[in-house]
Structure 1
Amino acid sequence: MKNKSTIFLAEAAAIGAIYVVLTLLFAPLSYGEVQIRFSEALTILPYFTPAAIPGLFVGCIIANLFGGAIPVDILFGSIATLIGAVFTYKLRNCSRFLAPIPPIAANSIIVPFVLRFGYGVNLPIPLMILTVGIGEVISCAVIGLILQTALLKYKGIIFRSQKSAL
């Protein structure tokens, strides 16, 4: 029998690696004030496994490092993804359609302030909340829910870690 913590770590690492690859593969769309980060669809994964929480957080840090983000973006952008992942996990026993709401909210609120005060983007904060929010809705709600629907068929097969992250 495999050690549960080893399975947890392997799941987290795989999720983080996929997040990095998807972010960098679609790099022109993954960064900036108007962004559709397809890797954010993976923020649906805490619905299935707590291993997704550290996986998404570390994956976002690495993707932001490789994407040339400034330190404040690496920190706060990754914290936005972490907050979204934690609250998606906490909503796992509610309607599955609520799962994309935490990452949409966290990124829509935090990222515009990073863009303004970190990068000096001179657009109104409400406009950037809207543009970042639209990208998050596309990534998390549309693509994420499609991914969630596909994974529901394989829930017990793909995600095996039972160790709680929180």
Structure 2
Amino acid sequence: MAKSRKSSKATRKSCFMDSKVHERLGEMAQRKRMSLYDYTNYLLEIGVEIEESGVNLEEMKEFIKVMGKVFQFYKGTVIVAPFNATEIKGGWRELGKRLGVIVRQSNPDCREGVIGVTKSLLWPLGQVVENGYEVRALSPTLTSKNVLENLKEMMEGLLESAGVKGEVVADPGALVVRVS
């Protein structure tokens, strides 16, 4: 549960925001049983702390959303492994298919869901660039033939299971996922 502050004792400063953001914040504050002032400060304090630690919130946004959905819908084990674990053969297409099922269950627009999951999965490997319905990952990690083949299989399984047409192109140092 969110921590609450004694807003009557805090020094207040003006902060302007878009009216739609203000409305959404008000609704969320009500659900948390917090005042709008306390809830806004709670979110901003967390955001500032994260940014100050060197983590870019914009880069983390999709990753957090995808992992949140994975933990909501996937009843299994999720582990963090070193990059060389992507060298191990087998099971990658099946993993992609399971992720595709999660995308179908949790996103009204499966194409957007596939793009989000793809960015989140490839982000830890290196530089990820999104251009419309194309995600391109560039990394020295992707120079390994096994890593490229495994990740290509996973992405193809994701597209297949999510029911989204597209293609996966694997070249040394780059993996590209294009959604039609």
* TM-score over 0.5 (shorter chain): no
TM (norm. structure 1) is 0.30
TM (norm. structure 2) is 0.28
Structure whose residues are more often strand by fraction: 2
Structure whose residues are more often helix by fraction: 1
Q: Which has the higher contact order (CA 8 A, sep 6+)?
A: 1
